[in-house]
Amino acid sequence: MKIISINAGSSSLKFSLFNMDNEEVIASGVFERIGIDGSKFTIKYDGEKIEQEIELVNHTDAVKVLLEKLIDLRIIKSLDEIDGVGHRLVHGKDKYSQSVIITDEVVQDLENFKEFAPLHNPANVLGINAFREALPDVAMVGVFDTAFHQTMSKENFLYPVPYKWYEEYGVRKYGFHGTSHRYITKSVEKLLGRKDFKLISCHIGNGGSIAAVKDMQCVDTSMGFTPLAGIMMGTRSGDIDSSIIPYVMEKEGKNASEVVDDLNKVSGLLGLSEYSNDMRDILEKCEEQDEKALLARSKYVRRIVDYIAQYYVLLNGVDVICFTAGVGENSIPIRREVCEKLACLGVEIDLDANNQRGEFVKLSTDNSKIDVYVIPTDEELMIARDTLELIKR
Ligand code: ADP
């Protein structure tokens, strides 16, 4: 069985083609600058990498080229080999708590929910429509970023604001990165051989969120109504006092969405360091004892620790803490600093074990009261697995 996993953005389309017999990636790649000058694609397969500039007017074009190339490059012999297409979908509001077969209703809901994810939901629809045109008879599955977090209780997902905002406008915590947190949860289940565990899953990339999980279900998560909330990120502030917004609007003569844009795009590591949103750059600057980079780094660590501490109490203790995504999988010093600050909870890690990147590894020592792991996330595989499961039914 072969399944394609798709992540469609407003001007990009990423894909991974899986052989689900062994869950191996047969080919993967990205179509970029769709509808913009200089569009191109990259396809990786069988140790090769092909890059080509090509005019791509829209997503339908990109999908057409993708399918042609899969055949031209002999990655598949015919389109009949594709058994299913799984789409990463961003916002399913409180209607979708699981992955679903994509129907007209699902597409309509993505449209209806677009004010909750104005950049992502319309792009997801473009991706779905392009595949519907190209592969009309192939089943498609939607995997929502928000779905895993639907098990949060009202106490955890509501903000202490007028109740009417929730009832009438849908103001509540939705949470994101759900597919990644679910992948980590399932990996821990496999590792421990049981479902009754308490986990804090730390997805720390350029965007980042932390989830508290009990018995396989999400109890709380750090992102909120939008991905702006929670921990400090590459360019996002994470939680701040919202009164800052009108104050800065006045100071800089901006409107509310311009200031929120600043909180999304020029805050976080970039904002504090005035240098970069990339943790590698920040760590390099820290070597030079750059004051702002040092501050950005320690604030970043601090916000992660704040959330872990909060969720430790919420879950009434924790069995496993996992690090994943770009920083979580690769940044040795950030993991070390976070874990050092958790020593008061009984966390102890082996510095040699921590000295690796991008690998599954158990960081905690036998003395540690909490098991700590690095588990590389794989949202594409999770999407392909869900797709396979739903199309087999
Ligand atoms: P996104 O949220 O865009 O998916 P990623 O999960 O790819 O982001 O994470 C990107 C982040 O991972 C960047 O801040 C990058 O610096 C960081 N990262 C990647 N490799 C390393 C490394 N070797 N050391 C430190 N940080 C790293």
Query: Tokens 């200089």 correspond to what residue?
Result: 38
The answer to whether residues 330 and 219 belong to one domain is yes
Distance CA(229)–CA(263), nearest Å, equals: 10
Are 200 and 345 within one domain?
yes
Radius of gyration of the chain (CA): 21
pLDDT digits (tens, 9 = 90+) for 332-384: 999 999 999 999 999 999 999 999 999 999 999 999 999 999 999 999 999 99
Residues of the chain with pLDDT > 70, as a percent, come to 100
377 Cβ below 6 A of ligand 1: no
Average pLDDT over residues 279-305: 98
204: CATH: 3.30.420.40
Mark whether 89 and 199 lie in a shared domain.
no
Domain identity same for 247 and 325 = yes
Residue after which a domain boundary falls, among 129, 144, 159: 144
| Domain end (from 87, 112, 144) | 144
- The rounded distance, in Å, linking the Cα atoms of 193 and 58 is 46
- 333-343 residue pLDDT tens: 999 999 999 99
Pocket lining: 324 vs ligand 1, CB cutoff 6 Å = no
Strand partners, 308: none
Same domain, 208 and 342: yes
CA distances from 57 to 14, 52, 100, 256 (A): 16, 15, 29, 33
Which domain does 64 fall in, by range? 2-144
29 occurs within a structural domain: yes
Considering its fold, how many domains does the chain have in total? 2
Type and span of the H or E element at 218: strand 217-221
Query: Is the model's pLDDT at 99 over the cut of 90?
Result: yes
- What pLDDT is attached to residue 321? 98
Is residue 138 located within the same domain as residue 199?
A: no
Which residue from 331, 334, 374, 378 has its CB within 8 A of the most atoms of ligand 1, so it is best to mutate?
331
Q: Give how far the C-alpha of residue 184 lies from the chain's centroid of Cα atoms, to the nearest Å.
A: 12
Q: CA-CA distances (angstroms) from residue 38 to 34, 43, 212, 222?
A: 9, 17, 42, 37
Give 266 Cα–ligand 1 centroid separation in angstroms.
17
- Domain-embedded: residue 169: no
Residue 162 in domain: no
Inside any domain, residue 294: yes
Instruction: Give domain status of residue 229, yes or no.
Output: yes
| Domain end residue (candidates: 110, 144, 178) | 144
Q: Give the closest residue (by CA) to ligand 1 atom 21.
A: 330
233, 286, 327, best to mutate for ligand 1 pocket (most atoms within 8 Å of CB) = 327
Residue 393: per-residue pLDDT: 83
Q: Is the CB of 279 under 6 A from ligand 1?
A: yes
Q: Whose CA is nearest to atom 7 of ligand 1?
A: 326
Average pLDDT over residues 167-193: 98
Sheet holding 361-362, edge to edge: 217-221, 208-214, 198-204, 320-324, 371-374, 361-362
Of 7, 231, 233, 279, the residue with max ligand 1 atoms within 8 A of its CB, to mutate for a pocket test, comes to 279
- Do residues 207 and 351 both lie within one domain? yes
- Same-domain status, 205 and 321: yes
Q: Is residue 389 in a domain?
A: no
User: Are 140 and 213 found together in one domain?
Assistant: no
In a shared domain, residues 124 and 202: no
Separation CA 62–CA 319 (nearest Å)? 45
- Whether residue 177 is contained in a domain is answered as no
Quote the ligand 1 centre to 214 CA distance (angstroms).
Answer: 27
**List of residues 6+ apart from 157 with CB closer than 8 A:** 149, 172, 173, 174, 175
To the nearest 10°, report the CA torsion of 295, 298, 299, 304.
160
Using one digit for the tens of pLDDT, what is the confidence trace for 150-169? Answer: 999 999 999 999 999 999 99
Query: 327: CA distance to ligand 1 center in Å?
Result: 5
Decide if 183 contacts 23 (C-beta within 8 A): no
For the record, the structure tokens of 28 come out as 């993967």
- CB-ligand 1 contact for 268 (6 Å cutoff): no
Q: How confident is the model at residue 187 (pLDDT cuts 50, 70, 90)?
A: very high
Task: Please state, for a pLDDT cut of 90, what percent of the chain lies above it.
Answer: 99
Token pair belonging to 40: 């191109």
Each as own residue / partner, the long-range contacts of residues 326-329 (CB below 8 Å, 24 or more positions apart, any chain) are: 326/204, 326/205, 326/206, 326/279, 327/204, 327/205, 327/208, 327/279, 328/202, 328/203, 328/204, 328/205, 328/374, 329/357, 329/358, 329/359, 329/374, 329/376, 329/377
What pLDDT is attached to residue 66? Answer: 97
* Residue 235 domain flag: yes
Q: Are residues 131 and 202 in the same domain?
A: no
Question: Domain check: are 125 and 241 in the same one?
Answer: no
Residue 73, pLDDT > 90, answer yes
Ligand 1 centre from 49 Cα, in Å? 22
DSSP string over 282-317: HHHHHHTT-HHHHHHHHHHHHHHHHHHHHHHHHTTS
Residue nearest to atom 3 of ligand 1 (CA): 206
Q: How far is the CA of 280 from the centre of ligand 1 (A)?
A: 8
**Phi, psi for 321 (deg, rounded to 5):** -115, 135
